[in-house]
A and B are shown apart, each in its own frame.
Chain A
Amino acid sequence: MADSIRLEVTRYRPEGDSGPEVQEYDVPLRKEWTVLDGLNHVKDEVDTTLAFRWSCRMGICGSCGMNVDGEPKLTCATFLSDYAPGPVRVEPLANFPIVRDLVVDLYDFMEKLPRVKPWIIRDDDLTVIDGEYLQTPEELDAYKQFSMCINCMLCYAACPVYGLDPEFIGPAAIALAERYDLDSRDRGARERLDVLIEHEGVWGCTFVGECTRVCPKHVDPAGAIQRYKLKAAKENVMAFLLPRGAR
């Protein structure tokens, strides 16, 4: 194994550059080093001006997502040795505006997420004295997969629909809506459906399926969206067939 590998890193300085440029860095190639370790080596030893996001280094905070050789990846879980002999292209997550170097602007998602009301909605709010809401293992199992989302935005970077039509509410937001819909404690499915039944909701999705392929937590947003489409279609048929009171 060679002892170093070349990183081709996107640089963008908003105060000067007219657009992104590529800067090359040679970093040590070690068996246990991830792309994030390579970037941290650059930051510590070579070029302190390089900007990128990271936090936990163990695939749970969701902040180190970048496009590595064109694929959206958590850089803390992507090993340099898998790209040997290199070079490795490290770019900011696709489909998002670049703030600086490898840092992208996530404002759009922050605005969209609360629209699907990703929290438990109740008709009746029990007090603490009334006790907790109990749930069987089967009821937990129904939504658990969709609750694994860490908001890393890899799915948005992989989704060509989101890239072409930024109005699309996107994979993670819909998967999270499904997570709460499937929760036995929740009564908010109706409210969420009202948001997701719109064109920029589930119908924007054309089932490319790339969101599911890149998801580091195996959430399967594409599956959640198709299941939502089924619900929305059923709702439309019911609205057409049944009088208002019977629904």
Chain B
Amino acid sequence: MTEVRVHHRPISTWWWTRKPTYFVFVMRELSSIFVAWFVVYLLMLVYAVGRGEAAYEDFLAWAATPWVVVLNVVASLFLVLHVVTWFNLTPQAMDVRIRGQKAPASLVVASQYVGLAVVSAFVLWLVTR
């Protein structure tokens, strides 16, 4: 076989800014960091509650400092992105069949939001009762 001198094109570090879909993908990947942050935040809250009233008050004061508020607002936005994008992808990843028929994508997505609402309502009931 004849040796062919092929040309390899380098990939730019900024490839993900080239298309909106690539950009949303990278933001979705980035959102995992903020999900992890909320896990840490929740654990800190539980730890503070466990240590008593004073520690809980200290935690609340710290949580009200501007940088924590800004961080949590940004994290919340990323969390919404995380939920919406992953819920939208689920019908593609799961082959849900009802009586042999492929379930419509909208049904799969909607059932996740229902699940989210039910769990949220339960947690709300648990902490406010």
* Total residue contacts A-B, CB cutoff 8 A: 64
* B 61-90 binary contact with A (CB < 8 Å = 1; else 0): 000000000000000000000000000010
Chain A residues within 8 Å of B, Cβ to Cβ:
12, 14-15, 19-20, 70, 94, 97-99, 105, 138, 160, 163-164, 206-210, 212-213, 220, 222-223, 226-227, 229-230
8 A-B residue pairs with Cβ-Cβ distance under 8 Å, sorted by A, are A14-B4, A97-B8, A99-B6, A207-B89, A208-B22, A209-B25, A220-B92, A226-B94
The answer to whether A98 and B95 touch (CB under 8 A), given A160-B22, A163-B11, A206-B29, is no
Interface residues of B in 87-118 (CB under 8 A from A): 89, 92-95, 100
Q: Name the interface size band of chain B.
A: 20 to 34
Chain B residues within 8 Å of A, Cβ to Cβ:
4-9, 11, 15-16, 18-19, 21-22, 25, 29, 89, 92-95, 100
Q: Please tell me if the beta carbons of B18 and A70 are within 8 angstroms of each other in the complex.
A: yes
Q: Which residues of A sit under 8 angstroms from B100, Cβ to Cβ?
A: 138
Partner of B92, one of A105, A160, A222: A222
Partner of B6, one of A97, A138, A206, A207: A97
Q: Please tell me if the beta carbons of B93 and A230 are within 8 angstroms of each other in the complex.
A: yes
* Residue ID in chain B nearest A17 by CB atoms: B7
Q: Which residues of B sit under 8 angstroms from A138, Cβ to Cβ?
A: 100
Q: Which residues of B sit under 8 angstroms from A207, Cβ to Cβ?
A: 89, 93
Q: Which residues of A sit under 8 angstroms from B25, Cβ to Cβ?
A: 160, 206, 208-210
Partner of B7, one of A19, A220, A223, A226: A19
